[in-house]
Every structure is written in C-alpha cells, then in structure tokens.
C-alpha cells in the first residue's frame, strides 16, 4: 500500500513537472496551459456522484454509472483538446503543447491508478475518508 502511494505521488509529480515545463521554459513562457488543471481536478467528480447515488444497489452497472463514465471521458478529452487548440492558434508553441499533453497523460494515469489501488475495497465505505 505504501509502495503504491509513493509510486503514485511520484508519477503525479512527474506529470505536473511536464505541465510546468510546458509553461515555464524560456522558449515558451506562456502560462495559459495551466487551465488544464481545472479538468484534472473535476475529472473524478462524476464517478463520486454516481457512487453516492447508487450506493445501496448491487447491480453490475447502472445508467447513472455509465453517464458518469461518459462525462469523465468528456473531461479527459477536453483536457487533451484544450492545449491542441491553444497551439493551433499559436498562443503556445507546439513543443509546449506536446509537453502539456504528456503531462496530461501521466496525471490521468495517476488518477486512474489512485482509483484502482484505493477504490476497490469490497465494502467501499465512506469511513475511508
């Protein structure tokens, strides 16, 4: 459990490093890509809303859960689309865009890793928080 926590925080740091490099390197110096952090922050929210809403149901799946997957995918797509659009209108350079996209990928994998490692308890109870 400790190893997973440390590994996840390391990959989170790497992801944020890529994002900051994409903004702060001398060649780039534009900080608009930091807005993708908003997408990172809201990406787990649909999952938690669906988990709360269908807490006492033991069905394999439900419309609420699938809607949550739909919106989470939308948020992930938006986090990748936003830097690409910034680069296409030359607000940021393509090199910065590449770094931001790499940072996105690593951060989303980290978030997914958190859910895989810490969310799979057999009786998921809110006392874990």
Contact stretch for other proteins (CB under 8 A) within 5-13, 18-26, 29-37, 72-80: 72-80
Q: Of these, 60, 121, 125, 128, which contacts other proteins (CB under 8 A)?
A: 60
Nearest CA to 35 out of 86, 74, 71, 90 is that of 86
Judged by CB under 8 A, does residue 115 bind other proteins? no
> What is the C-alpha separation between 93 and 129, in angstroms, rounded?
41
Cβ count near 12 (within 10 Å): 18
Among 43, 72, 104, 110, binds other proteins (CB under 8 A): 72
Look at residues 51, 28, 11 and name the one whose alpha carbon lies nearest to residue 99. 28
CB of 127 to other proteins, least distance (A): 27
Binding site for other proteins (CB under 8 A): 59-63, 66-67, 69-74, 77-78, 81, 84-85, 88-89
């Amino acid at each position: 459990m400790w190893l997973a926590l440390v590994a996840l925080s390391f990959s989170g740091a790497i992801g944020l490093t890529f994002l900051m490099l994409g903004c702060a390197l001398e060649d780039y110096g534009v900080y608009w890509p930091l807005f993708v952090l908003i997408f990172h922050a809201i990406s787990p929210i649909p999952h938690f809303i669906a988990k709360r809403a269908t807490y006492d149901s033991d069905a394999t799946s439900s419309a609420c859960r699938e809607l949550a997957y739909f919106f989470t995918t939308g948020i992930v797509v938006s986090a990748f689309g936003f830097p690409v659009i910034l680069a296409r209108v030359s607000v940021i350079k393509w090199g910065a865009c590449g770094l931001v996209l790499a940072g996105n990928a690593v951060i989303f994998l980290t978030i997914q890793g958190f859910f895989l490692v810490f969310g799979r308890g057999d009786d998921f109870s809110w006392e874990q928080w």
